[in-house]
Amino acid sequence: MKWSTDWGLRGRMAITMFLLFGLYIVFLGFLVVSTDIGIIGVIVIMGLFSFVQYYYSDRIALYSMGAKEVSPEEQPELHRMVDRLSQQADLPKPAVAIADTQVPNAFATGRNQKNATVAVTSGLLRTLNQEELEGVLAHELAHIKNRDVMVMTIASFLSSIAFIIVRWGWLFAGNDRNAPPIWVAIAVSLLVWVVSFLLIRLLSRYREYVADRGAAAITGNPAALASALMAINGRMDRVPKEDLREQAEMNAFFIFPIRSGFIGRIASTHPPMEKRIERLREMERELATA
């Protein structure tokens, strides 16, 4: 399979960013009008927050997962795979990290193609064979090539701020029941967070399909990724619930989401595993008849 630009993904990215931009302009206007910080203060605070999120989101993601970068001497075979697949994807080789956890998963992080990291868990290395692992690594490289990590980081920027206002504003409001400005700020921030949350989820699900197809194009073996997804799904049932809860916050970055109940399935960052495997099987048939 040849790598091709997915204009459906580009279009969805553009529409989502446009809608989020309009939503955030309204939100920023509300903050300026309803607080004593003023427009300069809001811009300074937003600027600092965006700087930290853009330049340090990769380190934060790795730290939250307990993932540590490994050298070629420590993991020679894993590095050889990433090196070879990066060349096939026409990408600079990303850094490689491993998280010591039973949960079999992988994710990519980094603000651009030259500053990226591919991380896998020790549980994943124990679960998959070589071809399956290559399929998973190629999926993460496809995210990097499509600049998904950067787009999702930017898209979630003010959503994160809105969530912080809701979370901490509730505590301040709890100490002062006669503080209507705080309650109004909480209500508006909650609305902004919910709308942006749903828009980002819709974009996130489609980008997983595109990354799956990108992995098939990189490896020429869509069946390997389909097999990996089934192996990961089967392994999840044997992972302690404590480990699953600890890592559920990172769902948007994972190759396979950690769902938690009915709400978790509705708000999932990933499409159903069955549909992903069905599409990979269709790609396999395309290759067989080409």
- Choice among 56-65, 206-215, 264-273 with the minimum mean pLDDT: 264-273
In a domain, 152, yes or no: yes
In a domain, 1, yes or no: no
Upper half-sphere CA count for residue 134 (Cβ side, 13 Å): 21
Cα 209–275–248 angle (5° rounding)? 70
Where do we find the tokens 């609305």? 191
134 is catalytic: no
Give how many domains the chain has, as a whole number. Answer: 1
- Is the pLDDT at 47 greater than 80, yes or no? no
Pairing label, strands 95-99, 67-69: antiparallel
Cβ 127 vs Cβ 120: under 8 Å = no
Largest CA distance in the chain: 70
Q: Tens of pLDDT along 166-204? A: 666 555 555 555 555 566 666 777 777 777 777 777 777
Residue 243, in any domain of the structure: yes
Residue 24 lies in a domain: yes
Average pLDDT estimate for 150-177: 63
> Cα(37)–Cα(272) distance, rounded to whole angstroms?
44
What's the number of CA atoms in the CB half-sphere (13 Å) around residue 96?
19
Query: Using an 8 Å Cβ cutoff, are 98 and 75 in contact?
Result: yes
Structural domain boundaries enclosing 105: 7-289
Torsion, Cα 244 211 55 10, to 10 degrees, reads: -130
Alpha carbon of residue 287 to chain centroid: 29
Residue 2 lies in a domain: no
* 21 in any annotated domain: yes
Which tens digit of pLDDT belongs to each residue from 106-132?
999 888 899 999 999 999 999 999 999
**Calpha distance 275→280 (Å, rounded):** 9
Neighbours of 110 (CB within 10 A): 23
pLDDT band at 101 (very low <50, low <70, confident <90, very high): confident
How crowded is the C-beta side of 147, counted as CA atoms within 13 Å? Answer: 11
What's the pLDDT tens digit per position in 198-255?
777 777 778 888 899 999 999 999 999 999 999 988 776 555 444 444 444 444 444 5
Among 140, 208, 274, 282, the one annotated catalytic: 140
Task: Please provide the distance, in angstroms rounded to a whole number, between the alpha carbons at the two ends of the chain.
Answer: 9
pLDDT at 243: 47
285 belongs to a structural domain: yes
